[in-house]
Amino acid sequence: MHAGIEHLGLNVALQLLVGVPLEMVHGAAKIGFVYIAGVVAGSLAVSVADMTAPVVGSSGGVYALISAHLANIVMNWSGMKCQFKLLRMALALICMSFEFGRAVWLRFHPSAYPPCPHPSFVAHLGGVLVGITLGVVILRNYEQRLQDQSLWWIFIFIYVVFVLFAVFWNVFAYNLLDLKLPPPP
C-alpha cells in the first residue's frame, strides 16, 4: 500500500537509482539487509512516535538506502574517483527533502487523499537513522582509520539501543499509558 501513484513511483525510482549502484559495489546481501532494517526501523519509529497513524509504502527502506549512500560517500570521500560526488549528495538530499515534505503534508492535510488515512512520516526518520548507522557499520570503508573503528562501535550501539527501546516501548507502552489501538481502516 502506498499513498498514491506518485509515492509508489518515487519509491521505486529511488530504489533503482540508489539501490542498484550500491549493490554493484557492496553486494546484494549487505544492501538488502540495510533496506530491510530500514523498513523495520521505520515501522518501529512510527509505533513509538506516531502510534495512531498507519505506515504505508517503503519509505523507511528507501531512506535507509539513500542515507547509507550518503554515509558511504562521506566515508570514502578521498578515495572516490567520481567527479560528481557533491552533485550526487545534493540530488539525494533534494529528493529526500521533497518526499519528506510531501509525507508531512499528507499526514496533516485533512483532504489530501480522502481514502488514505493520513499515513505517518516518521518511518522516513527511522530509515535515515538506520541508513547512517548501518551504512557506516556494514558498507565498505576503503580507507579505515582508528577513529572509524570507534565510530563503528558508536553506531552499532546507537542502532541496538534504538531497536531495543522501540521493541520494549511496543511491548509495554500501551498498558503503561492506558492507550487503545485505533480501529482498522
Q: What is the pLDDT of residues 149-181, one digit of tens each?
A: 777 788 888 888 988 998 888 888 777 777 666
Q: Does 183 fall in a domain?
A: no
Judge whether 11 lies within some domain: yes
**59 counts as catalytic:** yes
Average pLDDT over residues 121-138: 86
Question: Is residue 113 predicted with pLDDT exceeding 60?
Answer: no
| Mean pLDDT of the chain, nearest integer | 79
Query: In angstroms, rounded to a whole number, what is the distance separating the alpha carbons of residues 165 and 48?
Result: 9
pLDDT at 45: 87
Which H or E run contains 59?
A: helix 59-75
Integer Cα distance of 61 and 7 in angstroms: 14
User: Does residue 92 form part of some domain?
Assistant: yes
Computed from CA positions of residues 107, 92, 72, 151, in that sequence, does the dihedral angle turn out positive or negative?
Answer: negative
For residue 87, is it within any domain? yes
SS3 label, residue 54 = coil
Q: Compute how many other C-beta atoms are within 10 angstroms of the C-beta atom of residue 143.
A: 10
Q: What is the pLDDT of residues 38-60, one digit of tens each?
A: 998 888 888 888 777 777 778 88
- pLDDT score at 53: 74
**Model pLDDT, residue 76:** 75
Choosing from 7, 69, 118, 124, the catalytic residue is 124
Query: Per the structure block, which three cell numbers stand in for 6?
Result: 506518485
Residue 142 has pLDDT above 60, yes or no: yes
Domain that holds residue 148: 5-176
Instruction: Please indicate, yes or no, if residue 81 is contained in any of the structural domains.
Output: yes
Number of domains making up the chain: 1
Model confidence at 35, pLDDT cuts 50, 70, 90, reads: very high
DSSP summary character for residue 19: I
Catalytic, 111? Answer no
Q: What is the pLDDT of residue 111?
A: 62
Catalytic entry in 43, 47, 58, 59: 59
CA distance to 18, 62, 72, 128, 164, per residue, from 68 (Å)? 9, 10, 6, 8, 21
pTM confidence score: 0.78
